Amino acid sequence: MEKLDMLYEGKAKKVFKTNDEKRYIVEYKDDATAFNGEKKGTIVGKGIVNNKMSGLLFKLLEEKGVKNHFEEIISDKEMIVKAVKILPLEVIVRNVAAGSLAKRLGLKEGTIMKSTVLEFSYKDDDLGDPMINEYHIKAMELATDEQLDIIKKYAFMVNDTLMEFFGQKGIKLIDFKLEFGLFDGEVILADEISPDTCRLWDAKTNEKLDKDRFRRDMGNVEEAYLEVLGRIQ
């Protein structure tokens, strides 16, 4: 498959057109950002970890019935994906209070939620990806009721699958962000699943193994990413 013009460059990835109009090539970057781009840096090897981890987890989720954009890994930092039109929604699934949820609600970080929390954000960097609810989504026509039902169903399926999978690897799945898009009119999971988009803690020590190490200047960021990849491979 031939890699053509760059279609989009985000904080963590570049997306390229290909000679197949229904396929893109995604290239993962080592660039790291936090706090809506206010903090910037580099995590050496991050692109390789996120590419490999996303490919592995997308394959697992497909086997469990979660349709997604992944096709195949073609290099250390590149994968072929379906040419999805991304919906302007970020879907956050939370099992344990951490980050902005703990801060907003005055909960101690590490508090286990009595039930899984599902949140939505409007995907707009200029606005800081503000939190919205299903009424906003409907009023702004960001997704139809039917599309939203599929998104919610898939989000909980992803959570159940990944909690079990990571649990077997000695990792707690604290929370994570998902993005969805349309391919041939069908809602499917897209974006990535990595230490950039998931909070992952060691099951025994609660040591953070994700981008919080970068956000909070905790050090050993590269080592944490490699630790996660090593455990799940």
**Using CA atoms in the order 120, 48, 230, 219, what is the torsion angle rounded to 10 degrees?**
-70
Map out the domains of the chain with their CATH numbers: 3-82 (3.30.200.20), 85-219 (3.30.470.20)
Please report the pLDDT score of residue 176 as a whole number. Answer: 98
pLDDT, tens only, 55-84 = 999 999 999 999 999 999 999 999 999 999
**pLDDT of 36 strictly over 90:** no
Query: 74 and 139 in contact (C-beta within 8 Å)?
Result: no
Rg from Cα positions in the chain: 17
- Confidence band (pLDDT; 50, 70, 90) for 140? very high
C-alpha span between 78 and 97 (Å, rounded): 33
Residue type, position 112, single letter: I
